Amino acid sequence: MGRYVLKRFGLMIITVWVIATLTFFLMHAIPGDPLSTDRGMPPEVRKNIEAKYHLDKPLMIQYAYYIKDLLHGDLGLSLKYKTRTVNSMLMNGLPASAKVGLLGMLIGVSVGIFLGIIAALNNKGFLDYLVIFIAILGMSVPSFVFASVYQYFIGVKLLWLPVAGWEGPKYLILPVASMATFYIASYARYMKTSMIEVMGSDYVVTAKSKGLSHTAVIIKHVLRNASVPIITFIGPSLATSIVGSFVIESIFGVPGIGKFFVDSVKQYDYTMILGTTLFTSILVVLGYFISDMLYGVVDPRIRLDK
C-alpha cells in the first residue's frame, strides 16, 4: 500500500508541475504583455511596475519566480483589476461556489444512486426505462438548457422562487437543482450499469444458490460491490463541484468562481483565466488522487496488481 500511495502521490506532483509549467508558458505565448493595455503609462512607471513583477527579467528567471510564488500558494495578480490578486478573487468566490456545487452534487449523487438501484432491480421494466430515459435526457441536454428551463418555468412563470441573485437560502434552490440534475443523470447510469454487472457475477449466483434471501443478496453482496466503481467517480466530482459550474453560476447570478471565470474570459483577463484554470486543475488532480486512495482502501484487488 505504501508504495502505491507514494507512486500515485509522485504522479500527482508531476501532473501539477506539468500543468503549472504549461500554464506559465501559455501565458507568455499570448501576444502583447500585461501592461500594453495602459497606453498613457509613462515609461518610468512602466519600468517600476515591470521591476516589481519581475517582467524585466529573462523568461527562465520569471519562471523561477512563478514556481516560487506557486509553492507559496500565490497565483498572481489580475490584469484588469490592478489591486486584486487571483487568490483573493478565488477566495471570494469559493464559498458561494462550494455551497451550490457541494449541495447540488450531494443531492444529485444520492438521488442518482437511488434511481440507479431502482432501475437495476427493475431491469427491463417500466421503472428501468423511465430512469434510463431521465438519465440520457439529463446527460445529453446541456446544463445551460435545463438551468434556463428551471429559471423560466419556476422563476418566471410560476413565481415560486427568485429568478436569480444571492440573498438567502431561497436563492440556492434553483442553482442547486440545476447542478443536481446532471449528477442525478450520470450517477443513475453508473449505478445501474455497475449493479447489473455485479448481479450477473458468479459470487451472486453462489449467494443465491446457497439460499440467501433476495434482500440479503442485494444488500450484502450486490450493493457493496457495485458501489466500488462509484467511489472512483465521486472524488473528481467532488473536486469539480467545489469550483462550481461556469454556466449555472452565470445564469443564476451566483457570485462564485465559475461566474467570475466567465467574466474574466469576457474581459480577456488572462492571468485570471490561467490562475483559475490552474486552481481547478489542481483540485481535480487532488480529487483523482483521493479517489484512487479510497479505491485502494475499498477494493484490495487494486493494490495487488502493481
CB of residue 44 to another protein, shortest distance in Å: 31
Three-state DSSP at 215 gives helix
Q: Which of 1, 6, 18, 216 binds another protein (CB under 8 A)?
A: 18
Binding of residue 154 to another protein (CB under 8 A)? no
Binding of residue 45 to another protein (CB under 8 A)? no
Nearest to 73 by CA among 56, 55, 85, 61: 85
Q: How far apart are CA 7 and CA 194, in angstroms?
A: 28
3-state secondary structure 112-177: HHHHHHHHHHCCCCHHHHHHHHHHHHHHHCCHHHHHHHHHHHHHHHCCCCCCCCCCCHHHHHHHHH
Q: Which of 240, 253, 294, 302 binds another protein (CB under 8 A)?
A: 240
| Contacting range for another protein; rule: CB under 8 A; set: 71-79, 85-93, 134-142, 214-222 | 134-142
Cβ distance to another protein smaller for residue 16 or 212: 16
CA distances to 46, 56, 232, 288, 298 from 291, in Å: 47, 43, 5, 5, 10
CB of residue 245 to another protein, shortest distance in Å: 11
Q: Which of residues 181-220 bind another protein (CB under 8 A)?
A: none
Q: Which of 20, 23, 194, 241 binds another protein (CB under 8 A)?
A: 23
Three-state DSSP at 85 gives strand
Q: Which three cell numbers stand for residue 60?
A: 527562465
Cβ distance to another protein smaller for residue 28 or 220: 28
Q: Which of 2, 3, 29, 169 binds another protein (CB under 8 A)?
A: 29
| Contacting range for another protein; rule: CB under 8 A; set: 15-23, 43-51, 180-188, 222-230 | 15-23
Binding of residue 288 to another protein (CB under 8 A)? yes
Please give the DSSP secondary-structure letter assigned to residue 219. I
